Amino acid sequence: MFIAMNRFKVMSGSEEAFEQVWKNRDSKLDEMKGFVSFHLLRGSRNEEEGYTLFASHTVWESHEDFMAWTKSQNFRDAHKNAGSNKVLYQGHPQFEGFSVVEGA
Amino acid sequence: MFIAMNRFKVMSGSEEAFEQVWKNRDSKLDEMKGFVSFHLLRGSRNEEEGYTLFASHTVWESHEDFMAWTKSQNFRDAHKNAGSNKVLYQGHPQFEGFSVVEGA
């Protein structure tokens, strides 16, 4: 099992617009081999720095399945409009990939 | 659904000891109401700063179920030996809790 997360620091006031981008997208992840699940997660608000942490959270059967997706037309289609929306971020999205050590 | 993650920056060379701590523990999480799943995740190694990112990843049915666990004897038992092991960290573990916005 492999978990791919992208962390987004969404500027306070842009949270709803950010959620709408994800709710309105036309995801075809479930056409990909090895795709298990996708969730958009909302973390806590950092009052001091003025952002809310969000994370996309995708579970794949293996790292290889994830890598195959990143090289696919499906991936390019999913990201072709990235950057064109009005959501304001602090910095760039930060990718983190995880492999399972323990647990079931 | 609520996802509780604790992020650990484990000093290079301590990775195996860290994994052993988790593999050898006597978890009773599955006795708790609302517990869904637990995984220990290994992220990437940061060569420059000399650590490997790990994260504990626990899924609960709700934020309330997670909070009830943090106030339980089960939680105190699970953490009573924390700090007594030989694993070296950079900084303290960092907690992040997430609620599901979108996806199923």
**ipTM of predicted assembly, 2 dp:** 0.85
> Number of folded domains in chain A?
1
pLDDT band per the 50, 70, 90 thresholds, residue A85: confident
- Give residue B81's pLDDT: 75
Residue A92 lies in a domain: yes
Which residues in chain A are closer than 8 Å to B53, comparing Cβ atoms? 96
Give the whole-angstrom CA distance, residue B27 versus residue A14.
Answer: 40
Q: Which CATH number goes with the domain that contains A26?
A: 3.30.70.100
Give the range of the structural domain holding residue A69, as residue numbers without chain letter.
Answer: 2-99
Give the whole-angstrom CA distance, residue B82 versus residue A1.
Answer: 27
Dmax (CA) for chain A in angstroms is: 42
pTM: 0.88
Contact B40 A101 (CB under 8 A): yes
Residue A104 lies in a domain: no
